[in-house]
Structure 1
Amino acid sequence: MHVDEILNAIPPLAVYLIVGLVIGTESLGIPLPGEIVLVSASLLASQHDALNPLWIGVFASVGAIVGDSIGYVIGRKGGPRLFAWAGRRFPKHFGPAHIAKARGVFQRRGVWAVFFGRFIALLRILAGPLAGSLHMHYGKFLAANAAGGIVWAGGTTAAVYYLGTVAEEWLSRFSWIGLAVAVVAGVVGTMIVRKRMAAHHPHEDETPLPAEAAAAPGAEPAGS
């Protein structure tokens, strides 16, 4: 089965749910490739009419907001234990140095760390649990979290979808453009070669052959 047929066989709702679930789970504090999933889904939407980029952005935004909110509750109730477990389980993402750095950013920036953290891989994963463990006011957290999630998800979806559409249109015309360029290059190359050959041999066609010279009027017979 062709790849396009496989993609068309997947229900659009399944794609939307996968995007929302992966991003929501990542926002809980579990390192999953949420941004890669969002970019991939947006790119597919630019190539397949069955997928609506608007719904991809909506599900991604909802997943980000809900996941961060659940992460906030988890961090508020058991932040130290959560970070200690995550450090043992995922030392490359949640080691003591990573947690200390992210905590310092949140303490200095407050709600702005929540908003802009959505655009940074490490803070995107830790935003909810860290805000909860630091007892940030939930109303302020929710406002910054919702704004960051919508801007990040909507902006990423729109940008990737637009770039994918432009790229597909350009690639669809490339075969005709390439053919036209090849034809023009061939004609121009042939003309250049002929001009150069004529320049090197300007009187080649006017040189008489030996037999023609012997038969010319007034020519003396051989041996006279």
Structure 2
Amino acid sequence: MDRLWEALLGLPPALVLLLAFLLPALEASTFLGLLVPGEIAVLLGGVYAHDGRLPLVAVVLAALAGAVLGDQVGYLVGRRYGRRLLDRTPRRFVRSDELARALDLVRRRGAAAVVVGRWAAALRALVPGLAGLSGIPRRAFTLANLAGGALWAVAVSGLGYLAGASYRLVERRLGLGGEALLALVVVVVLVRFWRHRRSARHRG
């Protein structure tokens, strides 16, 4: 397990920084966020920052740029093709309850939904397109997108940084190796996979 964890932390810093930009950028623009939450790469970037392998400000800026650009593209796509895309999206990727929650959020909160929706992975992938579809003005959306993206990038990068600090502290004080943290990561991934499979069976 130590070797697996070392392999994860052995990714080139430049690649981690690229992923911290790319995954948030693809969340709403391609709906990738329905399958792979963008904060995974940003959290890893925060851990790298704690280890001194990346500047924390670079991780924050990469995450901010990716989040804002991706949501802006998602908004424009929703504004032009939103209804057709929703009608053609397989329900195994967009669950009806997630879509209903996102629609309700946009209707009730308007542009503020962009800030609120950023904190839930499924809503983060859907809200920008629905904002475009619902006719929220571009200026209002852009301002909310910048504000929400900045808060999210700072918070998630900071959590990754603190996670790196906590792991090092636990490792030093309790003598735990990479197995503990890797086991936690595996459990989180398995739980997410199990929940996805369970919901897919219910929908089927």
TM range (shorter): 0.7 to 0.9
- Match of 2:168? 168
- Match of 1:25? 26
Task: Give the deviation of 1:93 after TM superposition.
Answer: 4.2
User: Aligned AA for 1:126?
Assistant: L
Structure 2: give runs of 5+ residues left out of the alignment: 176-204
Name the SS for the 1:94 alignment partner.
coil
Deviations 1:138-193 (A, max 9, x none): 11101111111110111111123123213303422435xxxxxxxxxxxxxxxxxx
Question: CA 1:161–1:8 in structure 2 vs 1: closer, same or farther (change >3 Å)?
Answer: closer
Residues 17 and 59 in structure 2, CA contact (< 8 A), matched pair in contact too = yes
Task: Give the deviation of 1:95 after TM superposition.
Answer: 3.6
User: Aligned AA for 1:58?
Assistant: L
Residues 43 and 159 in structure 2, CA contact (< 8 A), matched pair in contact too = no
- Match of 2:99? 99
Residues 27 and 126 in structure 1, CA contact (< 8 A), matched pair in contact too = yes
User: Aligned AA for 1:23?
Assistant: P
Q: Say what the alpha-carbon RMSD is for the aligned residues.
A: 2.3
Residues 8 and 50 in structure 1, CA contact (< 8 A), matched pair in contact too = no
- Match of 1:75? 78
Question: CA 1:155–1:97 in structure 2 vs 1: closer, same or farther (change >3 Å)?
Answer: closer
Aligned equivalents of 2:168 and 2:63: distance in 1? 24
Deviations 1:28-77 (A, max 9, x none): 1332221222223322432x322222211111111000000000110000
Question: CA 1:121–1:56 in structure 2 vs 1: closer, same or farther (change >3 Å)?
Answer: same
Aligned equivalents of 1:25 and 1:138: distance in 2? 20
Give the TM-score, by structure 1 length: 0.68
Task: Give the deviation of 1:103 after TM superposition.
Answer: 1.1
Structure 1: give runs of 5+ residues left out of the alignment: 176-224
Question: CA 1:164–1:8 in structure 2 vs 1: closer, same or farther (change >3 Å)?
Answer: closer
**Residues paired across the two proteins, number:** 171
User: Aligned AA for 2:21?
Assistant: G
Aligned equivalents of 1:121 and 1:7: distance in 2? 23
